[in-house]
Amino acid sequence: MITLPWAPELPIRTERLLLRAHEHGDLDAMLEYHSDPEVVRYLPWPVRDRALVAEALAPRLRQGRVDAEGEWLVLAMQVIDGPVIGEVVLKCASVEKGEAELGYALHRAHHGRGLAFEAASAMVRLAIEQFGVTRLTAELDARNAASSSLLERLGFRLIRSYESEFKGELAPGLEFELRVS
């Protein structure tokens, strides 16, 4: 069973990143990756302009903790002594079943450097060690090979493939899970 609230001591420091609550000053950095068609290609939001990024930032300012099932912990990925380059998220999916859902988004200029893996690894550790999560899931577009590879490196395994409507088209999806014994 999951323990609530999820109120991690922030920031969480990894080798190269700080995972922290979003701040008003993150708008310009978020605009860079939220407006990039290549970054949002496989994400559930559209390419966003400045006004839409400001609208998306508003709830993130309050998502540095989770108080109830169904809520998201959304943390900015900030390079130590540098800019915000993405975000990593964890949804409290089921308190009773101990389930959470993992997600992440990363600025294209930082792809291929292991930073999403570093942030996701920290979030998985937090979920298991502090929040009592016993099953993590992640869903993604099957065409996102880099994300599939990242999840496999984290120890997730593919449990199903499916097709669903995504951004107005039928798209192949994959669901991965990581179970803690």
Q: How many Å apart are CA 18 and CA 12, to the nearest integer? A: 6
pLDDT, tens digit, 9 for 90 and up, residues 114-126:
999 999 999 999 9
Tokens of 146: 């880099």
- pTM score, two decimals? 0.95
The domains found in the chain, sorted by start residue, are 12-137 (3.40.630.30)
Q: How many Å apart are CA 132 and CA 180, to the nearest integer? A: 10
pLDDT, tens digit, 9 for 90 and up, residues 47-60:
999 999 999 999 99
